[in-house]
Amino acid sequence: MDANSLAVVAIIATSVPLVLALAVVTWQVRQRRMLRDQDQADTVAAQLPAERQRKRIEARSDKIQWLTVKLLLVGMAAWIAVVASQIPWGSLHLSWVDGGILLIAASWSIPTIRQLSVLWEERRGGGDGVRAEVAVARKLDGLQALGCQVFHEVPVRDFDIDHIIIGTSAVFAVETKARRKGGGEGPAEVRYDGKTLQFPHWAETRPLQQAHQQAIWLAEHLAGLLGQAVPVIPVLCLPGWQVSDASGGESGAVRVIDPNAEPRFLDVDQLAPLDPAFRVRIVEAIHGLYRKLAI
C-alpha cells in the first residue's frame, strides 16, 4: 500500500466513529424537534407545574449534546490536519495486524451507535411515560372530591399499577399509556371496539391485556386478603387521545378513557355501593402494598 492510500485509510478509520456519532445526534435532534409539536403526552402535561421550565431544560440538553459532538469533531479534524501532515507516510507500512486494528476500531462504532440509538429511544419513551402518568395523576386526584380514594404507582411484585381508584361501588385499576400522534394531520382519535385500539396509523391490543391482567391480580389479591370478593374494573388511560367507542366498545372488558373526559367510567349501575367499613379495609390493603415495598 502506497503512502497516499495509507494516509486515506488512517484518516477514515480515525474519523468514522465521530462522524457516525455526529450523524446520529443530528438525526435524533431533528426527530425530537419534529415530534415535539405532536407529542400527546406534552399536550396533556402542558399545565403541570414547572412544565415550561422542563421543556426549556430539555431544549438546552439537546443543544449541549449537539455542541459537545461538534466540539469533538472540530478537535479531531484539527488533529488530523496538523498531525497527519507531520507524519512521514512514505516510511510507514500497514501490516495485516495494523489493518485489523483499524478495521475493528471502525466496525466497533456501528453496534455502539446502534445501542446509543436504542437507549435514546428508551429514554424518550420513558420521559413520555413519566409525563403522562403525572398528568393523569393530577386529573385523577380531582376524583377525591367525589368521595373516591386515589393511589398512584402502587407496587405489586415485579410491576406497578399506575393508579388505583377506590370508588363508591368498585375499585378501578388504571393503566396509563403515552402514545405519540406520529405523522399526518388527522385528529388525535383512537377507536375502541372492545378488543382492539385503532389508532390513526396502527392498532394495538397489548395495553388492553396489561390493564386486564393487572385488574385480575388486584381482585385476587384483595379477595385473598379480605376474605370477600372485590369488584375491580380495568381502565386504560390514553392522555391526549380522544377515545371513540366503536361498535362493542362499551361492552369491552377494559374501559378506555382520556384524562380530560368526564368521570363517567366511575358509574357502575349494576353494582351495589360498597359498605363504608369494607371500603376502609380496602384502603388499608392498598396501603399495605406500599409498606411491603419499604420492608
157 and 221 both lie in a single domain? yes
Confidence of residue 179 (pLDDT cuts 50, 70, 90): confident
Joined together, the cell numbers standing for residue 78 give 484539527
129 and 182 both lie in a single domain? no
- For residue 54, pLDDT over 80 is answered with no
Nearest to 167 by CA among 262, 274, 261, 253: 274
Q: Is residue 31 part of a domain?
A: yes
Q: Is residue 142 part of a domain?
A: no
> Which is higher by pLDDT, 207 or 8?
207
Question: How much is the mean pLDDT over the chain?
Answer: 76
Is the separation of the CB atoms in 57 and 112 below 8 Å? Answer: no
> Which is higher by pLDDT, 69 or 138?
138
Confidence of residue 239 (pLDDT cuts 50, 70, 90): confident
The Cα–Cα gap between 233 and 173 comes to: 6
Q: Is residue 37 part of a domain?
A: yes
pLDDT of residue 145: 86
Domain, as residue range, for 241: 147-294
Is the separation of the CB atoms in 208 and 254 below 8 Å? Answer: yes
Q: Is residue 257 part of a domain?
A: yes
> Which is higher by pLDDT, 262 or 66?
66
123 and 43 both lie in a single domain? yes
Domain end position, chosen among 101, 136, 171: 136
pLDDT digits (tens, 9 = 90+) for 22-42: 676 676 666 666 555 445 445
The Cα–Cα gap between 126 and 131 comes to: 9
Q: Is residue 67 part of a domain?
A: yes
Domain end position, chosen among 80, 106, 136: 136
**Among residues of the chain, what percentage have pLDDT more than 70?**
65
Distance of CA 155 to the CA centre of its chain: 18
Q: Is residue 141 part of a domain?
A: no
Q: Is residue 174 part of a domain?
A: yes
pLDDT of residue 159: 83
Q: Is residue 244 part of a domain?
A: yes
| Averaged pLDDT for residues 212-223 | 94
User: What's the total number of domains in the chain?
Assistant: 2
pLDDT digits (tens, 9 = 90+) for 72-123: 777 777 776 777 667 676 666 667 777 777 677 767 767 776 777 677 666 6
| Averaged pLDDT for residues 134-140 | 83
pLDDT of residue 40: 46
DSSP conformation letters of 215-279: HHHHHHHHHHHHSS---EEEEEE-TT-EEEE-TTGGGSSSEEE-TTS-GGGG--TTSPPPPHHHH
pLDDT digits (tens, 9 = 90+) for 227-237: 999 999 999 99
The Cα–Cα gap between 18 and 97 comes to: 23
The Cα–Cα gap between 287 and 166 comes to: 12
Burial grade of 160 (CB within 10 A; 0-12, 13-18, 19 or more): middle
| Averaged pLDDT for residues 266-287 | 88
pLDDT digits (tens, 9 = 90+) for 139-168: 888 888 888 999 998 888 778 899 999 998
Is the separation of the CB atoms in 202 and 175 below 8 Å? Answer: no
87 and 37 both lie in a single domain? yes
Amino acid identity, residue 192? Y
